[in-house]
Each structure stands twice: as structure tokens, then as C-alpha cells.
Chains A and B, each alone.
Chain A
Amino acid sequence: MASSPLIADLLAFLADTHPSDQAFDQQALALFAHQFQHNLPFQRFCQQRGKTLRTVRSWRDIPAVPISAFKALTLSCIPADQAERTFMTSGTTQAEIKGKHHHPSLAVYDASMLRNFRQRFMAGSSERIRMGILFPDETLLPNSSLAHYLALAVREFGTGASHYVLTQQGLDTARVIAELEHAEQTGEPYALLGASYSFVHLLDALQRLGKTFRLPAGSRVLDTGGFKGQSRELSMQDFYAQLSSALGISASDCINMYGMTELSTQFYDDGNAILPSVKSGPHWIRSRVVEPLSGEELPRGQQGILAHCDLANFNSVTTILTEDVGVAVDGGFLLLGRAQGSAAKGCSLAVEEFLQAAAA
């Protein structure tokens, strides 16, 4: 693989504790040049936007690729079949085309995840914690970046007694309850990690059984991904309030991770006692809030669409345009959810409704 010096540089940059703005730009531009040269669909995309090696002078100039491009194009600097791993977006229907993110090597993804997770979820500590995972494991979902992420979390930060509490049959309620009781009785901190909607299923199950817990100090929760129509929808306020009262841990120990298949780096908040919580990432990812049509960066405090420049995305494209609404604030950004469709305005059929009808 031609890009191993590039990977080495990148890993060094990730390991750097206080890199300068200039160093970020340097890395970003090096990756841009690499991707412009080797990722031909991306090159065409840049040319369509009038962006070339000459006109891109800083990370902000790199054109943000809409995430839908991961579905339509092969965004990779190496032939896709040579990737060590390909992560795919989760589609809701069989027929739906899935976005693909090709990783020639997971070295960078893993380094990014571990370094950031240790800092943000493990509070920098190197002590392991007993984990319960509310998500299928990597053998069941080999193309899920979240499955890999959680597998890494267990492998590197979980105690030997960590385990998956979601089986092919669904939530293993008896096992979760046994684990929660164990934690309560022994005082050993316990961490539950998984998809937000699985936590709703857990809350529903606990409520049915009339069970609540008081987990020992140091216990915590990591949820991610929202509800995606896979569980009942509830407000963030209610979600964390219910989690907090069912498990007996403070909302400030409930961390939400914001990540996507199209990125190799995740964002975290510092707990959800105050909502909406501020999300931020490590030094190798930078975000902008942009006006969706013009792509212009919006002033702090103004709502727009999030664009991320993730230097750990060395093989695809560093800079993506999401469909998530956010607003820049001190110390990061607020994530205000997925942009809502414009269906409600007139009586013209909108895409969302059309797709629902087509899927029915």
C-alpha cells in the first residue's frame, strides 16, 4: 500500500497532544492532495466545484462531499476490494442502497477511536470497567462501524466479564437485570453502551417489570444514533431523565456519542445533565456549520448543517457534508437533530412521504 508513510504521519499527528492550527492544515492539505490524486470520483467532484490543488489553501477550502455520495460513488484511494474492512450505513429497507466506507487498514480508525474514547468516556483512566453492550457483536454485523467501535471498547477498556446483552432474539432482559443487580450488590461500576433505541427497549422492559436500580458510583452510559424509528421516540430530556431514574445514575454520567459510518472519528458530550449538550471531537477533526445551499460557513450561534473535516478519513474524503442540523457554540457544537423534511408545507407530494408509500 503506497500510503503507509501517510498513515505513519497521520498516526503521529493523532498522538501529538497540542498540534498547531498550521499542523492541522498541513495534514488536511496533504490528505486532500492524496485523495485528489487517487480518489477519482472525488477529483471529479472537486473539479465540478472548481476546486483544485491550487485553489484549496486551508482545510476550510476542501469541498464537503454530501454523505449521499458514499452511496452513489466508490470514494476510495485504493480499489474497494483491497480494503481490510468496509463499513456500510444501515438501511431501513432491503432495497435501499447502502453507503460504503472503505478502510484499507483499520489502524487509523482504531487509533482514533481508542485515543478519543479513553479521553472522553474513560475520563483518561486506564482502569477497565465491566461493560454490557446493547448492540449486536461484530460477527453478526461485520459491516457495522458501530459494532466494530463497541468491540474495540470492550477489548481495550472492558473487564473480562464484559458481555453483549443483545442477541439475535433481541434484548436479553434477564441478563441485563442480573448484571445490574450484580453491580448494585458488589458496588463494581458498570457501563452500558449501545444504540439509543436499544436503551428505550431496555427502559420499556424495566418499566414493565417495575424494576429500578441504583448503580454504584463510576457507572455510566454511552448511547448513540438516536431512535431511527426502531423504538418509540422520546425527547432527549425524557430519555435521560428516564435512564437516570431507572439506573440510578446521574444524567451527567450519560454520554452521547455522535458518529457516522462516513467518519473515522467520533464526537462526545460531557454528559447530558444540561440539554442540548455540547458535542466536541479530538484535535484531528474540525467542524463547520454551513448554509446548506451555498455551503458558506455561518456565524456562531446560527443554525445550519454540520460539515466535518476528519483527518482520520485518510482513504475516502476528509470533509463531508452531513444532513444534521447544528449550531456552533463555545467548546464545540450543539446537535439539533436530522433536518426535517419539508413535507408539511403544501399539498405537493414530498420525497419522504413518497418513499414511505413506496416501502409500504
Chain B
Amino acid sequence: MSVLHETAGYLPGLRADEVAWQTLSFEGQGGAVEVAVPVLSEAQIVLLTQRVRSASQSYLKSLTVAQIVDTIDRAIHRLLDPQDPWRRKADSILPRVTGYDAEMVRLGLTGYLKTFRKPQLQRFLAEDFGNPQLLDGFVPRPRGGFSKAFGPDVAVHVWAGNVPGLCLWSLISGLLVKSGSIGKVASAEPLLAGWMAQLLVEIDPKLADCLAVVWWKGGDTAQETVFFKHADLVLAYGGTAALAEVRRQVPVTTRFLPFGHKLSFGLVAASALDARKAPRAAQQAAYDVVRYDQQGCYSPHVFYVARGGKISPDEFSRYLAHELSALQKKYPRRSLSLSEAADLAAWRGAEEIRSLSPGGPQVAGEGDWTVVYNHELQPLAPGALNRTVRVVAVDQIADVMPLLAPHRAFLQTVGVAATPRELFELAEQLGRAGVTRICALGQMTSPEAGWHHDGRCSLLDLVQMVDIDSSAEAAAETLAPYVD
């Protein structure tokens, strides 16, 4: 199998031969790729940030939000076209880089891209701003005065993780608020953001200097400090330790938006557990587990399943095992690194050991997936990822609520199978506990357009509102040349 060579990043104003490059090697599904990632000098970083700042001020801020939406929509449609060269590149190379099954990447990417078409982007904007014209000009406020939303000139995004496409939303949201963006790609998936930037520039060449995609080795504080010093806003994705490290480098006066690792789980009420509905619920639950091998913030680690239905929690866990086994054939798990395999083996080994004690769990699984069934209440805790899931029997779903309190900061998505009445009752309790998204089983890994990521208004968080007080308006009236 031949090794492909790719170049990551997008560096307006810098020639390839001026920049130092480092090679990252990947060996995923379908073959190997060597990716050259740029290593910038301090002077180059300063140059790049100045260039983006100036283009952001002179060009991006002059566009209307509708024009920006159109450009993004055109880019997304290009990527949704299976024949488009950029899309073909993504389909062939991302599985090699991330190791995920090619079909899973293809389906996942398409589903994800669909949430960034024009109507969906408009929904995002309406969700956060009500009237998106707030981004274009001063809009009257109902109680007097005017307001306008100003995006930052330069936002630096620190991306993490290898769920393909994670960086796209970050980049797009920056554009929507007319912010120049410098994105730092993750070593685990350094390519997609750079392609997106190039594609956007292909569609609107004047965007050329408004975006940059860079790389530095995570934790390289020397590089981080320079980038952050020249940013108005820093968005960072990663684990607690990594975020704390990034936060230390961000100047106090620069806004910092951290997106930490999350813990998600599922709830299956007795109402979803009869002979017809339970297999379907298990199938959907399995799909949530399989998608991106549980690497997403929205990926479930545990399913709490109520007793009292026609199908017992124990039987549900067997259905789930069966579905995972079936999905393994359709979407094989990516091959694991030694340390991932060791982690998983240690986790499963410990569960198998527990299963030897009276009252211990049942462990089912082949090499590629594991279902642990506990018939006693278990605290909420992450599994070993990579298709390892715990099913816990509960007398009623409400029993889960007290388990959530210690993990408030980490809670995100809960996949729910329950009646409408139960759904809204649960939603109230889950919301109080810190959960920010409740969705159907099978949809955990596909948040809808306009969702409040980690409970936040993602676009609103990026902007600064500028108010014209009614007093200013009144005072100005007195100074008008036509004042009587």
C-alpha cells in the first residue's frame, strides 16, 4: 500500500519554502498518510496574526451576514457532493488519518455537513440573535436605544480530538460573526480545517487573508503565548489539564472559551421495553456507541435501564450486545493503539474479575466491543471508550438523578427513550443536574442545527454587544443641523 503525502494548514502570506515543516505519520483504514504540519517562527506568527486582523477588519466586517451564509453554504454543498475533489480527498484520507471505518466517516461527515447548509445556518443565527441583522448594523431595541453585535477581529481556536469535523463548526461560527480565525489543528486530525479554509477561499478569493490554519505541538507554551497575545478571543477544546494549561497562557484581558471533555449517557424507561420497542431501542443505543467509537462528547458511556417493562434490563443488555456485534461487521472499530488497547483490556479485565464475585456484573463481548451488565445501581462513570458500554438496571429512572450531582461539570447529552410525559419530567430533573442536551436514542452523536453546545449560545458567546443608549440618540437630536 502506497503512502500518501498531504500538507496540513493554510498560511496566507507565507510561502511553503519559508516555513519549517514537521511530519506526522498515520496508518489508518486503507493505508498510510504522512502529513506535513507547519512549525512557525515567532516572527511568522506575528505576521500571520496581523494579516488576519487587517483582512478581518477591512473585508470580513464589510460583508453582510447573508453574504457570509451564502459563501459557507456554497462550500458545504461542494463538500456534500461526492464527486467534488475536496470531498473525495476527505473520504479517502480521513479514514487513513483517524482510523475510523471509511463508511462511518462518510456517513458521519455528510450528516454533519448537512447541519451547515443555508437554512440550518439561518436557524443557528436566529437561535442566538433573534434578528441576525444585529450582526450587520445597529438594530433598535424594543425599550429604546440600538444594539449591534461585533465579532472579534481575531479569534484563535485550539482544536482537539479526532472526531472528524469537530473543527468545522468552530471555524464556521467564527465566520458567521465576521471574526478572522486562526485555527490550530489537532495532531490527531490535522487536515480537514485546512481544506475547508482553502475551499472557502476558492469560492470567495477575498477571504484569503481572513483565515489561517496552523499547528503547534500541544503544550508548546512559547508558541501559544505568541498566538494568544495577538488574539481577541481564544476558544479551546480539550481535557481539563490541557484547558488549564491553555488558560494559563491566555492574557487576562483576552476572552477565553473552554470546551472540556464531557460525559454522556442514556436512559431507557420501562415504557420503551416491550418485545417490539426494546430491540429498536437497543439498536439505536448501539449506534450511538459505535459512532466515532465513543470519542465524542455526546457519546454514551452508560445506559440506565428501568425494570418493570416486558423486557428486562438484562435482556436489553443482550440485545445491545447483539447489535454491537452486528454493527462491528458493518462499521468495524478502528484499530487501537497499544495504549488504548491496554486501557481497554485493563478495564474489561477488572470487570471480568468483578464478575467472578457473587452479585458481580455480567461481561459480554468480543475483542471489538464490550457490554457490562450490572443489576445493582452503579455510579455514573466513564467506560474505557472504543465500544465499551455499561448497562445498569434501575427500579425507576428517577433513581439515576442522585448519581448525577457529583459530575455536574462534565454532563452533556442524555439519550432518552420514554413517553412524552416522562420525557418532560426527566428533562426538568436532568437540566437541574447539569445536563445540557436531551435527545432520542440513535441521535446522540448528531446534534441538531442550532443546538446549544454545552448549554451555551455558541455564536452569542463570540460577540461583543455594543449599545447606543437612548440618551445618546436623544442628545444627538439636539445637535442635528435641522434642530428647531
Contacts and interface: CB of A to CB of B under 8 A. Distances in A.
Q: Do A and B come from one complex?
A: yes
Interface of A: 41, 44-45, 48, 65-66, 68-69, 71-73, 291-294, 303-305, 321, 323, 325, 339-351, 353-354, 356-358
B469 interface: no
Interface residues of B, number: 57
B390 interface: no
B385 interface: yes
Contacts of B381: 351, 354
Given A68-B350, A347-B160, 9 more contacts: A292-B346, A341-B339, A342-B386, A347-B237, A347-B297, A349-B262, A349-B301, A349-B382, A349-B410
A347 B342 contact: no
Nearest to A323: B346
A350 B409 contact: no
B343 A339 contact: yes
Nearest to B346: A323
B295 interface: yes
A100 to B, nearest CB: 13
B240 A353 contact: yes
A321 B348 CA distance: 13
A340 B161 CA distance: 16
11 contacts: A45-B353, A48-B356, A68-B350, A325-B338, A342-B339, A346-B163, A346-B299, A347-B163, A347-B237, A349-B301, A353-B241
B188 A293 contact: no
Closest 6 CB pairs of A and B: A346-B295, A66-B349, A339-B342, A292-B345, A68-B350, A342-B340
Contacts, number: 153
- Chain B interface, DSSP helix/strand/loop, else mixed: mixed
Nearest to A66: B349
Greatest chain B CB density within 10 A among A68, A304, A347, A358 is at A347
A68 B345 CA distance: 11
B355 interface: yes
B282 to A, nearest CB: 21
Contact of A357 (B161, B218, B354, B409): B409
A347 B296 contact: yes
B166 interface: yes
A72 B356 CA distance: 9
A348 B259 CA distance: 11
B262 A293 contact: no
Interface in B410-425: 410
Nearest to B160: A347
B340 A348 contact: no
Contact of A347 (B166, B338, B343): B166
Contact of B188 (A71, A73, A304, A345): A345
B258 to A, nearest CB: 12
Given A48-B352, A357-B410, A348 B297 contact: yes
Contacts of B163: 346-347
